[in-house]
């Protein structure tokens, strides 16, 4: 019964280090004394949860265990297992959600970041049990700026309508974004989009809290001007030609700028190690944004094939490093999807100096870019 529930203003759901970073930023800014649920689906999730609990920023920290049925390399079987898990979870929603949700609590607001199963289950559980909860989707990076958020399958929509009613299939929510302008291109209901407080000096004052939670000491990157962000996935390296090509790009850039002036930032889930001579940004589960606090971002050069980390200086800090994105090049390696292309072009349009956001079409164009950089100092 509603009158027996403890009223709590807000809860957050997260399933990545960057999402936890953003939830910490919101809580430091607003001090809602909220609960946070961390989905244990990424490296160090449990450790980060424990440190976040010790930090005391949130009222309660709950690490939610997940069981993924779809871990299979054969695509049709993987899809079948995922659909089977969705159906099982919807039929057993009370049993699953009551394992992790704090009992007898009524949340005024639920902040979530993506459409993964555990977050869907929490929303549907609140709806089934007549929680008058407001739903807010907060910024998690590129996936938040793609227009239509809930790309539900026919099976998912059918099950939700059948088990939870038509209203459940179209739960309304607001979007809370660092750069709403990026989403206005897609979203007709602009009144449903709010601007998330930008990263500020107050966050920098509290840098020690971020470093403690992620068990990360900011790297000493002074004197480094060029940063190569590795964001490639295993499917991007299915041929030897792709491996050789991306190594050739990396070698050329390293030689052009000088290994002493360059740093390689590897992705925590990277499957490919570059042969390199330059400094390597330490591997960590901490989001790169923690190190951005201590960098002169406007005077740096960020290079990547597809990593959206190169866009966060603009989106979070309103700084404009020179960005070189290689995903448009005619290549055997990863080629931009339409969504990726739209996103990077959108960030380029946000730049005051658009000449600092470069997307070369060929290796010859890339070489010319670095010749120009060398000539201009």
CATH of the domain at 145: 3.40.50
> Residues near 285 by Cβ (< 8 Å), separated by ≥ 6?
17, 42, 43, 44, 47, 48, 214, 215, 216, 268
Query: What ranges make up the beta strands (E) of the chain?
Result: 6-14, 35-39, 60-64, 105-112, 134-138, 174-177, 193-195, 226-229, 262-265, 279-281, 301-304, 322-325, 357-358
Structural domain includes residue 139: yes
- Is the same domain home to 279 and 310? yes
Q: Quote the domain boundaries for residue 281.
A: 226-376
Structural domain includes residue 10: yes
Report CA-CA distances (Å) from 39 to 49, 71, 106, 114, 363: 10, 17, 20, 12, 41
Structural domain includes residue 187: yes
Q: How far apart are CA 83 and CA 94, in angstroms?
A: 19
Q: What is the DSSP letter of 129?
A: T
Structural domain includes residue 221: no
Distance of CA 237 to the CA centre of its chain: 22
Return the SS3 of 135: strand
- Is the same domain home to 174 and 39? yes
Radius of gyration of the chain, Cα coordinates, nearest whole angstrom: 22
- Is the same domain home to 58 and 199? yes
- Is the same domain home to 201 and 310? no
Structural domain includes residue 237: yes
Structural domain includes residue 252: yes
- Is the same domain home to 198 and 89? yes
Structural domain includes residue 218: no
Sign of the Cα pseudo-torsion (111, 116, 118, 120, in order):
positive
Report CA-CA distances (Å) from 51 to 20, 61, 199: 12, 10, 22
What is the reported pLDDT for 1? 40
Kindly give the confidence (pLDDT) of every residue in the chain, 377 residues in length, as a single tens digit, with 9 standing for 90 and above.
445 567 788 999 999 999 999 999 999 999 889 999 999 988 899 999 999 999 999 999 999 998 766 555 566 777 788 888 889 999 999 999 999 999 988 899 999 987 788 999 999 999 888 778 999 999 988 888 865 555 567 888 888 899 988 888 878 888 899 998 887 665 555 668 899 988 988 898 899 999 999 998 877 788 899 999 876 655 555 566 777 788 888 899 999 999 899 998 877 666 666 777 888 877 778 888 898 998 999 999 999 988 888 999 999 999 999 999 988 887 656 667 777 888 899 999 999 999 999 999 888 999 999 888 877 76
- Is the same domain home to 81 and 135? yes
- Is the same domain home to 231 and 209? no
Report CA-CA distances (Å) from 101 to 21, 36, 164, 200: 22, 10, 19, 32
- Is the same domain home to 188 and 288? no
- Is the same domain home to 145 and 40? yes
> Residues near 346 by Cβ (< 8 Å), separated by ≥ 6?
145, 182, 185
Q: How many domains does the chain have?
A: 2
Q: Which of 157, 190, 213 is the last residue of a domain?
A: 213
**Interaxial angle between packed helices 117-128 and 75-91, expressed in degrees from 0 to 180 and rounded to the nearest 10:** 20
- Is the same domain home to 200 and 244? no
Structural domain includes residue 220: no
Residue 287 burial (CB count, 10 A):
22
Q: How far apart are CA 243 and CA 274, in angstroms?
A: 9
What is the reported pLDDT for 337? 76
- Is the same domain home to 208 and 257? no
């Amino acid at each position: 019964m509603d009158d027996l529930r403890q009223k709590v203003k807000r809860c957050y759901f997260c399933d990545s280090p960057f999402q936890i970073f953003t939830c910490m930023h919101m809580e430091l800014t607003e001090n809602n004394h909220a609960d946070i649920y961390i989905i244990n689906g990424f490296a160090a999730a449990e450790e980060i949860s424990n440190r976040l609990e010790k930090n005391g920023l949130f009222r309660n920290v709950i690490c939610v265990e997940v069981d993924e049925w779809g871990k299979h390399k054969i695509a049709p079987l993987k899809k079948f297992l995922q659909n089977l898990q969705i159906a099982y979870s919807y039929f057993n929603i009370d049993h699953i959600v009551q394992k992790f949700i704090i009992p007898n609590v009524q949340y005024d607001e639920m902040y979530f970041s993506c459409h993964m199963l555990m977050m869907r289950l929490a929303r549907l559980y609140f709806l089934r049990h007549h929680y008058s909860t407001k739903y807010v989707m907060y910024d998690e990076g590129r996936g938040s700026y793609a227009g239509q958020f809930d790309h539900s399958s026919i099976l998912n929509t059918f099950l939700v309508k059948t088990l939870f009613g038509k209203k459940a299939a179209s739960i309304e929510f607001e979007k809370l974004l660092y750069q709403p302008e990026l989403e206005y291109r897609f979203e007709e209901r602009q009144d449903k989009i709010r601007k998330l407080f930008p990263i500020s000096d107050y966050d920098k004052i509290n840098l020690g809290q971020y470093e403690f939670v992620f068990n990360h000491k900011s790297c000493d990157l002074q004197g480094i001007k060029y940063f190569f962000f590795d964001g490639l996935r295993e499917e991007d390296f299915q041929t030897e030609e792709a491996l050789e090509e991306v190594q050739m790009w990396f070698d050329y850039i390293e030689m052009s700028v000088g290994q002493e002036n360059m740093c390689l930032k590897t992705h925590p889930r990277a499957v490919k190690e570059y042969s390199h001579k330059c400094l390597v940004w330490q591997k960590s589960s901490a989001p790169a944004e923690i190190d951005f606090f201590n960098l002169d971002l406007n005077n740096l050069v960020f290079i990547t094939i597809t990593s959206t980390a190169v866009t966060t200086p603009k989106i979070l800090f309103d700084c404009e490093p020179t960005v070189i994105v290689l995903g448009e090049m005619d290549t055997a390696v990863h080629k931009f999807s339409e969504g990726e292309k739209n996103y990077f072009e959108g960030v380029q349009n946000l730049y005051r100096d658009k000449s600092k956001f470069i997307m070369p079409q060929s290796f010859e164009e890339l070489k010319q870019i670095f010749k120009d950089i060398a000539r201009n100092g």
